[in-house]
Amino acid sequence: MTIRLMFYSGLICLVLLPLVSHAQVDHISLHEIETPERQPLSVRLNIVETHEQGQLYFTLLNRNVETTLDYQRLNNYMLRLKSPHYIIGQASVLVYEFKQNGWRRTHSVDISNSLKATPIDKKTLAKTTKRQRQCLLIREPKETLWSIASRYKEKWNVDIYSAILAIYKSNLSKFSKQHIGMLIDNAELVCPSRKIITMMGNKSAMEAEFERLNNTSPQ
C-alpha cells in the first residue's frame, strides 16, 4: 500500500511540475550596440532564463518617451532589438515579462550615450515618429479607452480587455503618469503591432491585469 501511494504521489508531482514552473529572466545585459550614432537603433542583449523561454516584450525609454522595440532571438542566450529611432543621451531598454497572469517590468538595461539633442535631431526624430505612427487608431474627441477598444476588438479577434491592454502597452506615453485609467484627452494613439496583440492572454487573465493596473496608484 505504501509503495503504491509513493508511486502515485511521484506520478502526480511529475504531472504538476510543468504547471508550476515559470520562465524567468535571471540575467540580461548589453552585449553590443550595433549601429553608429544617429542611426536607427539595433542592439544585442545577453539573456539567461530559468526553465523554458518565456513571454517577453521590450520598450525603449529615451527623452521621456517609451516606444515598443521589435526583437528576435538569435539563440538561447542572445536577442537583437531594433527601433526606427536613434537614441540621444540617457536611454534604457525596459524588459517586461508575463508573470502571474499579467505583464511585469522586471529589468532595465542602460544604453545611454553622451549625445546632445540638436535642432536637426529633433526634426529627424519627429519625422521618424510620424512615419512610425502612420497607423493611428480612430478616436472621437474625448472618447474613452473602453470605447476605442470596443471598436477594434472584433477586428483584432480578441476580447475587450486584451484590446484595452494592447492599446495601453503600445501608447504608454499617452496616459498621464502611465496610468491605464488616465488616457490623455484627444491624444493620437498608435495601432498595436500584431506581435503585441498575439501576446495577450485569455480573457480572465487580461481582466485581472486590467484591474491590477487600474487599481494601482499613479506614480
Kindly list the domain boundaries of the chain, sorted by start residue.
24-117, 145-214
What integer is the mean pLDDT of 49-76?
A: 82
Which of 17-21, 84-88, 185-189, 198-202 is the least confident region?
Answer: 17-21
Amino acid at 8: Y
Query: Sorting pLDDT into bands at 50, 70 and 90, what band is 53?
Result: low
The per-residue pLDDT for range 98-151, each reduced to its tens digit, is 776 566 789 999 999 999 989 998 888 877 766 555 577 888 888 899 999 999
Cell readout for 191 is: 495601432
Q: Does 200 have pLDDT greater than 60?
A: yes
In sequence order, the 6+-apart residues with CB closer than 8 A to the CB of 19 are: none
Which pLDDT score, from 0 to 100, does residue 92 have? 96
Query: Sorting pLDDT into bands at 50, 70 and 90, what band is 8?
Result: very low
What is the architecture, at CATH level 2, of domain 24-117?
Sandwich (2.60)
Which pLDDT score, from 0 to 100, does residue 164 have? 96
Could you tell me if 67 and 85 are in contact, meaning their C-beta atoms sit under 8 angstroms apart?
yes
Could you tell me if 160 and 202 are in contact, meaning their C-beta atoms sit under 8 angstroms apart?
no
What region does 33 belong to: left with phi over 0, alpha with psi -120 to 50, or beta?
A: beta
Cell readout for 111 is: 544604453
